[in-house]
Amino acid sequence: MPPSPNNPRRSEPPPRDDGCYGISQSAETRPMPDFVERYTRAALQKRVSAAEEPPRPPRWPMLGGVWTFPFYLNTLGPWMFISFGLMLTAWVILLWLGPGMILGTMSARLFGLPACLLGALTFGYAFSCCLVVIEQTSNGWDSIDVSVGMEWKEWIWNLGRVTALLLQAAVVGYALQLLSLSETWLPMAWGTFAAFPLVLLGALASDGAWAPLAVATVLRSLIPLSWAWALFYLQTAAVAWGWTVLTVAGLEQSPGLTPLYAAPLLAAAILIYARLAGRLAGYIAEATTYFSTEGEEDDDDDE
């Protein structure tokens, strides 16, 4: 019986195969050749092992790879960038405080603002590099990729972070200045110099900028790691004293030429300081793990 025009016959849709998306038979994949599979597996294993295994540390970690660290191939670029930024900042400051003073208040606009901007960007980048150096050195790495691929806003953030830690160390130095009743600022300078690594490593260990609550962990390492702390303070004090003497002598003789050597030396001193702080942080982390493991073993024996 033919279908009426008012009730046409509906054709049945073809059966759906949700698993094949309209393809009745699954597509056959061609197998990977054996040599390609072996090569790919070996390359992946080599890449994973190279990424997870840090190199063996030098025989004397607080001495080896420290003074030559700014001149490593991976560190040479950041060292040159920091040196150039410090050099420009110093020349602008010399123009501001020297010939620019004849302009009166105009000198602050022409030289003061550019000097502050250059100094903030340069030290922000330098402190960002230092944080990378401290972290990777404490993890056992010797050659470090110090190229900081961050925006300038993060440079300013790290500048504020390190400046806040420096101010906390300056509070300790000022307290020492008041107790010493000295007419010079040497007690405050040496007190700030001695307290800053404690505050810095404490803040990095707690992953925060407020360090007094985290300094206790670093203070506990002063006695068992007294030799490492002594090497740290001796080397950093020698670097600071040598740079200060050379810079002051240069400013008295030829102020305009002094940034040519004072800026690269200061950039190298900043990277050396970060390198030593990273080596010290690695020792503190090992000592903290050792003492915590011993404490857990003693608790198990008591039970």
Give the residue extent of every domain in the chain. Answer: 66-287
Which of 10 and 54 is assigned the larger pLDDT?
54
Task: Fill in the amino acid letter for 132.
Answer: V
d(CA 117, CA 239): 27
44, pLDDT greater than 50: yes
Distance of CA 289 to the CA centre of its chain: 22
pTM given for the model: 0.74
The secondary structure element, H or E, covering residue 269 is helix 259-302
Q: Please, what is the average pLDDT of the chain? A: 78
CB atoms within 10 A of CB 92: 22
Q: Which of 213, 222, 214, 154 is nearest to 194 (CA)?
A: 222
Instruction: Work out the percent of the chain whose per-residue pLDDT is above 90.
Output: 36
Of these ranges, 30-39, 64-73, 143-152, the one predicted with the greatest mean pLDDT is 64-73
Pull the structure tokens for residue 209. 């900028």
Among 81-95, 107-121, 234-248, the range scoring the smallest mean pLDDT is: 107-121
Contact between residue 133 and residue 164 where contact means Cβ atoms under 8 Å apart: no
pLDDT score of 296: 46
What string of H, E and C letters represents the secondary structure of 204-255?
HHHCCCCCCCCHHHHHCCCCCCHHHHHHHHHHHHHHHHHHHHHHHHHHHHCC
What would the mean pLDDT of 238-247 be, rounded to a whole number? 94
257, pLDDT greater than 50: yes
15, pLDDT greater than 70: no
Q: Which of 229, 274, 269 is nearest to 245 (CA)?
A: 269
pLDDT score of 30: 57
Q: Which of 197, 73, 179, 36 is nearest to 130 (CA)?
A: 197
What would the mean pLDDT of 53-65 be, rounded to a whole number? 75
